[in-house]
Amino acid sequence: MRPHPSESKVADIGRAVDGRRIVNETEGWMRGLIACRNNLSPATPLRGARITGVLHMTAQTAVLIETLSALGADLRWCSSNAFSTQDSVAAAVAKARSASIFAWKGQTPQEYWWCVKKACTWPGGKGPNLILDTGGDLTHLIHVGVDYEISYERTGAPPPHLLGLEPAEESAVILNMLRDQYLRNPAHWRELVQEVVGVCEQTSSGVHRLRQRESNGSLLFPAMSINDCITKSKIENIYGIKHSVLNGLLCALDVMLAGKTVLICGFGDVGMGCAMAMKAAGARCLVAETDPVRALMAGMEGYQVTTIETVLSEVDMFITATGDSGVIRMEHMLKMKKNAVVGNMGHFNREIDMESLRKYPGTKAIEVKPNVQRWTFQDGHSITLLAEGRLLNLICGTGNPSLVMSIAFTLQVLTQAHLWKNRNLAQTLPTVCVPPRKIDTQAALYHLPCIGAELTVSTNNPISSNEVL
């Protein structure tokens, strides 16, 4: 049964026609994913699977959703970020009944977590068999839901570690939600977890959270790290970012990059993509790193490796891509150049210390345009802040381009089908695995025609037909 549009909650279902035009156009740029859809859909390998997806509700994601639906899955979806939804696209997917959608651009923390909860609750109360997560919020909710029930049963109170979570506002929202759910069904999350076959995680920060759970023995279901596939980390992350950091910056600002001094904090795959883009645009690009190996790599690429404190007064634009928190702090912002641009390309909104900025005495923010703020300090000097410290590529712009998303989403589709096919295999302790290499190979094969590449067939080591899924 396909979901009725009234089961979804989007900003305005009336925008579905516009959204459909965008999705159709996007399909044209995602030929690899469409080829995968056309190949696999006759066998409906995801028939019977309930999938919850938590991933930016963009045009590219719409093509992913409609591929999973064509393969037979029953889908519920929300965005992984309160500001990244493209409202017309969300309307188009809901109208087409491809999934139940709970997503709109500009959500409060309450609304965001309400959407996550709705996306993992089918009518009748059942949860998902398969999860597609981005950053790990749904995985986190399920795990703390189980902790909450066990703790309440034993002690009559929530687990102490839940109370100290940061940011405080979000953990209060989660706690309220868990309390309500506990009153309705005190075994809800434990019942739900029984039916989860596994999660496919899209991002590096989500995989980091999963590995922490794996190492402290608290992981409740198997996890697949899509982010560790080569076509994801070394293609989507690097080249997608190389493109989308510029897309985001140029949508937000009328800035000439040539001749500017830019500091990239973090030289992982995302930071590397940012640095490549800045260099190509003619900026003077500096890199800050905490990891000696990555610092050396950046140096070998010709970037000056330095610290934020050393270059504070000469930098025109600061971009974070570390996955860490508190990278740009008040003490830095107070001493930056007049109207220095500050933006984040890493996960979540913690790399720039927004909480301190908001609370700092005498600061004032004005909105220059949506997602661009000018913050003025008591002494009269000011900085330009993008997307309130959230992902600037997805909030100021449209995120990574369709071609690289097509590659990453082909990995997602093949890995979801792989998990579902093997759902009855005896499970030992849940672990975090990388999808089989043949999934990476297949995703690449689907996309070679998109860049006009012709593969040389090795006489010694040809790709065998059983590598083709």
Least distance (Å) from ligand SAH to the CB of residue 52? 15
User: Rule CB under 6 A: is residue 400 a binding residue for ligand SAH?
Assistant: yes
In this chain, which of 387, 405, 411, 413 binds ligand SAH, going by CB under 6 A?
Answer: 405
- The minimum distance between CB 235 and ligand SAH, in angstroms, equals 11
Residue closer to ligand SAH (CB basis): 245 or 288: 245
Taking CA 287 as the corner, what is the angle to CA 284 and CA 292, rounded to the nearest 5 degrees?
A: 150
**Cα–Cα distance between 359 and 372 in angstroms, integer?**
19
| Residue (174 or 405) nearer to ligand SAH, CB | 405
* Region 313-372 residues binding ligand SAH, contact defined as CB under 6 A: 347-348
Q: Which positions from 139 through 198 interact with ligand SAH, judged by CB under 6 A?
A: none
In the complex, least distance from residue 123 CB atom to ligand SAH, rounded to whole angstroms: 27
Residues of span 222-261 touching ligand SAH by CB under 6 A: 236
Residue 58 in contact with ligand SAH, rule: CB under 6 A: yes
Instruction: Closer to ligand SAH by CB, 269 or 316: give it.
Output: 269
User: What value, to the nearest 5°, has the Cα angle with vertex 150 and ends 148 and 153?
Assistant: 105
* CA-angle at 262, arms to 258 and 266, nearest 5°: 140
Element (H, E) at 132: strand 130-133
Contact between 410 and ligand SAH by CB under 6 A: the answer reads no
Question: Minimum distance from CB of 156 to ligand SAH (Å)?
Answer: 33
Taking CA atoms, 249 is separated from 357, 386, 418, 463, in Å, by 21, 8, 38, 41
50 touches ligand SAH (CB under 6 A): no
Say how many residues touch ligand SAH, by CB under 6 A.
21
- Closest approach of Cβ 358 to ligand SAH, in Å? 18
Q: Scanning residues 204 to 223, which ones bind ligand SAH (CB under 6 A)?
A: none
* Cα gap 289→299, rounded to integer Å: 10
The single residue among 26, 61, 85, 382 that binds ligand SAH, judged by CB under 6 A, is 61
Residue 274 near residue 264 (C-beta atoms within 8 A): yes
Task: Please give the sequence-ordered ranges of beta strands (E in DSSP) within 328-433, or none if there are none.
Answer: 340-344, 364-369, 372-376, 382-386, 432-433
Out of 319, 408, 419, 439, the only residue in the binding site for ligand SAH (CB under 6 A) is 408
Contact between 19 and ligand SAH (CB under 6 A)? no
Distance of alpha carbon 145 from alpha carbon 143, whole angstroms: 5
Half-sphere exposure of 329 (CA within 13 A, CB side): 7
Pairing between β-strand 100-103 and β-strand 340-344 as defined by DSSP bridges: unpaired
Query: Which residues lie closer than 8 Å to 231 by C-beta, 6 or more apart?
Result: 407, 408, 411, 440, 443, 444, 447
Residues contributing to the site for ligand SAH (CB under 6 A): 55-56, 58, 60-61, 80-81, 134-135, 202-203, 236, 347-348, 391, 394, 398-400, 405, 408
